[in-house]
Structure 1
Amino acid sequence: MLEVRGLHAWYGKSHILQGVDLDVRSGEIVSLLGRNGVGRSTTVKSIMGQVVAKGAVRFRGEDLVGRRPHEIARRGLGYVPEDRAIFPDLTVRQNLALGRKSLRGAATFTEDNAYEMFPRLKERAETPGGVLSGGEQQMLTLCRTLMGDPKLVMVDEPTEGLAPKIVELVAQFLLAIRDRGIPILLVEQKLDIALDISERVYVLGHGKTVFEGTPAELRERGDIRKEWLEV
């Protein structure tokens, strides 16, 4: 569904991505792993058109390179940024409404679906987003993205800074998204969570793909984990 080949990206004169290759297929969660600064977030931003990039990015058979973020989103690619990017002065209900793709036709994910998955959001429906806890904001931004009826979702560091109990809730939600038929490209720092919920994983190092395989294969590759993942 998503094919990335030879992806290069720069910040100023810094050559961050130096030929990233990856695929996300229907019905799977794929995790993008690596130490901080290797280009994981830059990869998803480049795919989403937020960073000028060179290479090939094809989504559902269509080339995305050179398109603007809103054009990419309209083609069914959802993106949950690391900073969550909620509107702090708008209520939970208003934030969800802004994610809606169209007022016409039946939505595949509704406000009621969001409240069913996260009852806490229903309790806070009229509360401004800016006063929510970090976990509640993460729930909100995940659900807001689904309101746009994406065909694939890229999620950047969804468990960063969250309590262990909320981390587990987020992991369960990602599995629920996959079970709804929406594949996920996940950028995640917590190795255990990524390995537990992913069908396949990629490891980045120095802006390149240095490993591709299943979680079981990565668990067996102590050399890869030591060189590219462990502190």
Structure 2
Amino acid sequence: MTTMLDVRDLHAYYGKSHILQGVSFDVKEGEIVSLLGRNGVGRSTTIKAIMGLVPPQGTVNYRGRNIAGMTPHEIAHQGLGYVPEDRSIFPTLTVRQNLLLGQKSTRKQGRWSVDDMYKLFPRLEERADTLAGVLSGGEQQMLTMCRTLLGDPDLIMVDEPTEGLAPKITEQVGDLLSEIARRGVSVLLVEQKLTIALRISQRLYVMGHGHIVYEGTPDALAKDEAVRKEWLEV
């Protein structure tokens, strides 16, 4: 399997605070990889550093090219998609307008169309002419993920997509992430809920104190009570 993303010895700082302290991991083609850990260990900072939103130190190889130091829009044009934790929808635009903003080009048809998004989430089609600002939290989460997909990324990084969502919507998010991977898009998922990560991931990394403390399969982590107790359980 081809390696899409290879992060080596990644460091990042907020002011004088040394947040990432030599993070190394990889994501292969069509694979869902979850980055787990308690709040404050550096998971969100990791994907922000990969996306160029936080200055990275180290190597971030995407398809064999070091993208560390590029601007976020340059990185997006390389084929990386990013769904931030705060969802970042445009509240005064309709659902349809938000989706159309995600398209990179109207000339080339990517893997996904607006109609695909409506099939995956009929609720978005029902609310196509509704202002995005009045959607529920779950609907806004679906909208921002779908908008990112319309940019046709080859790898999508998703930060805490199930935060604050009802169990049924959480399950739908998991199904969408699995469908994304089935269509050949790699997924790097930052997630707090262990159940969804264990259900949909091929591999998992656990972070603690700014570096990776565990790598394994969902089955291995499910059986490793010591790791879960030390690094994941509150």
- TM-score, normalisation: structure 2: 0.98
Matching residue of 2:186? 183
CA apart distance, 1:122: 0.3
Is 1:104 the equivalent of 2:107?
yes
Q: CA RMSD in A?
A: 0.6
CA apart distance, 1:28: 1.1
Q: After superposition, give the CA deviation of every residue in 1:29-74 in whole Å (9 maximum; x if it has no partner).
A: 0000000000000000000000011000011111110000000000
* Moved segments of 4+, more than 2 Å: none
Aligned match of 1:215 in 215, 218, 230?
A: 218
- Residue 212 of structure 2 aligns to which amino acid in structure 1? T
% of aligned pairs identical?
67
Look up the SS of the partner of 1:58 in the other structure. strand
Q: Distance in 1 between matches of 2:233 and 2:211?
A: 17
- TM-score, normalisation: structure 1: 0.99
Matching residue of 2:54? 51
Q: Distance in 2 between matches of 1:206 and 1:108?
A: 38
Look up the SS of the partner of 2:76 in the other structure. helix
Matching residue of 1:75? 78
Q: Distance in 1 between matches of 2:175 and 2:186?
A: 14
Structure 1's unaligned 5+ residue stretches are none
What is the aligned length?
A: 231
CA apart distance, 1:107: 2.5
Matching residue of 2:208? 205
Structure 2's unaligned 5+ residue stretches are none
Q: Distance in 1 between matches of 2:17 and 2:230?
A: 22
- Residue 74 of structure 2 aligns to which amino acid in structure 1? E
Q: Distance in 2 between matches of 1:98 and 1:23?
A: 30
Matching residue of 2:174? 171
Q: Distance in 2 between matches of 1:100 and 1:62?
A: 24
